[in-house]
Amino acid sequence: LGAAFVQRYDRALAQVSTLQATKPPTLQPLQAKPLQLTHSGRPARSTHCCDKTMPLLLLLLALLLPAAAEATPSALLGINYGRVGNNLPPTTSALQLLAGLGVGRVRLYDTDPATLRSFANTGVELVIGVPDECLAAVSIPSGASSWVRSVIQPALPATKIAVLTVGNEVLTGANSSALSPSLLPAMQCIHDALVQLGLDKQVAVTTAHNLGVLATSYPPSSAYFRKDLVPVLCPILDFHARTGSPFLVNAYPYFAYAEDPAGVELEYALLEPGHGGVPDPSSGLRYPNMLVAQVDAVYHAIAAANRAAARTVEVRVSETGWPSAGDGNETGATPRNAARYNGNVMRLVGEGKGTPLRPDGALRVYMFALFNENMKPGPSSERNYGLFKPDGTPVYELAYRLPKDNATTSSGAGGT
């Protein structure tokens, strides 16, 4: 993480030693892990440290995390911090791992007050999820205003909240018919509540979509949204264009490979830099890996549905990852593949490049996830997307480390 990190770490240890002879907690070696996300259930609340070392640990973290921010000026890479498990460590331990990774952006799936307080004065920029079960309540002005005033406003400015994601994969989830009508009203009402408090330039409002919103994604230039979702997505795109918030998509090349291992080259799905790429015969562009192809497919779908919004709306990857283990029929879910994929995601983002369609805009990605979560429902892979085990040890070693310029400085609503 560079000299700034080392110097601040040394100063932190020196200050802690003057307060207590107890040896302060040490950071895990700088190792990254896999990140994944599928349909997230309601995150379980984590427990929190309450022993006598807590004040010293918080002091240490307050000194370390700003150093990570200094070493990372563009903050293109973030990580999903899901907590659907009964054996996960307290948030203070997660903060140590984040400091060691040099990641200054985190996506949370709930608004647990204790968790938000844990991130106060750390410099970590947060993407906060409005749970699906809250959509109806915040889809009316009074409900949204009450929620923002009671949950978001008290956390600011000590906790850096940059984005609110209203629901997760609402349009393609099991409860889509019940939740979809509330999605845009909830987004609009929450944004209006932020405007009333003068917070709309600081906090953006969006939602995260599954790639299932696309009727087709290959070749990217032929992608378009499902016809039944266009009436919902078009006004959402208008909202993004009007407020400047990003269009978020959960993109997993793993699923495409696992469903058709004979038809999808593993190296292409793993983002291996040596792969020759796949051409788009219509656009003439060549796609070096599947992730950027998926992102450009979304860009093309946006243009097909709402050309005016396509001029300004940015697509960001709110989740991507590769499982390190799975059931017998989950092809490719291995530690080696997970290490390769997630390392390549870090390399890709670290290069600061865009996609073939949008080469001038750096790709922004949140990896899934920080920990393996033992209570996530579904196949075994769902519980094995983490970079770390619950005890803080790496699930596997990554060959690539984040560059020193993976920053956390923000550029207004929606972060950088």
d(CA 250, CA 294): 10
pLDDT score at 250? 99
HSE-up of 77 (CA within 13 Å, CB side)?
Answer: 32
- Check residue 201 and give its pLDDT: 96
DSSP code at position 153: G
Q: What's the rounded mean pLDDT across residues 172-200?
A: 98
108 phi, psi to nearest 5 deg: -110, 155
SS3 label, residue 111: coil
Residues 92-117: what's their mean pLDDT? 92
**Which of the two residues, 402 and 172, has the higher pLDDT score?**
172
pTM of the shown model: 0.82
Which pLDDT does position 190 carry in this prediction? 99
What would the mean pLDDT of 351-369 be, rounded to a whole number?
95
Per-residue pLDDT for 291 more than 90?
A: yes
Q: Which of 125, 319, 373, 382 does the annotation list as catalytic?
A: 319
Catalytic residue among 70, 125, 133, 169: 169
**What residues does each domain of the chain span?**
3-383
Nearest 5°: CA angle at 410, between 158 and 58? Answer: 35
Backbone φ and ψ for 163, nearest 5 degrees, come out as: -140, 140
Q: What angle do CA 307, 311, 314 make, to 5 degrees?
A: 110
The pLDDT assigned to 101 comes to 85
pLDDT class of 100 with cuts at 50, 70, 90: confident
Ordered DSSP codes for 292-350: HHHHHHHHHHHHHH-HHHHTTPPEEEEEE---S---TTSTT--HHHHHHHHHHHHHHHH
What's the whole-number mean pLDDT along residues 45-51? 32
DSSP, res 107: E
Helical axes 54-70 vs 91-101, angle rounded to 10°: 30
Instruction: Kindly tell me if the per-residue pLDDT of 307 is higher than 60.
Output: yes
Output 401 or 312, whichever has higher pLDDT: 312
pLDDT, tens only, 251-268 = 999 999 999 999 999 999
Fold of 3-383: TIM Barrel (3.20.20)
319 as an active site residue: the answer is yes
Cα separation, 112 vs 114, in Å, equals 6
Per DSSP, 252 falls in state: -
**The two three-digit tokens of residue 181, written as one number:** 């009508």
Does residue 160 sit in helix, strand or coil?
strand
pLDDT digits (tens, 9 = 90+) for 324-337: 999 999 999 999 99
Using only C-alpha atoms, what is the Rg of the chain? Answer: 20
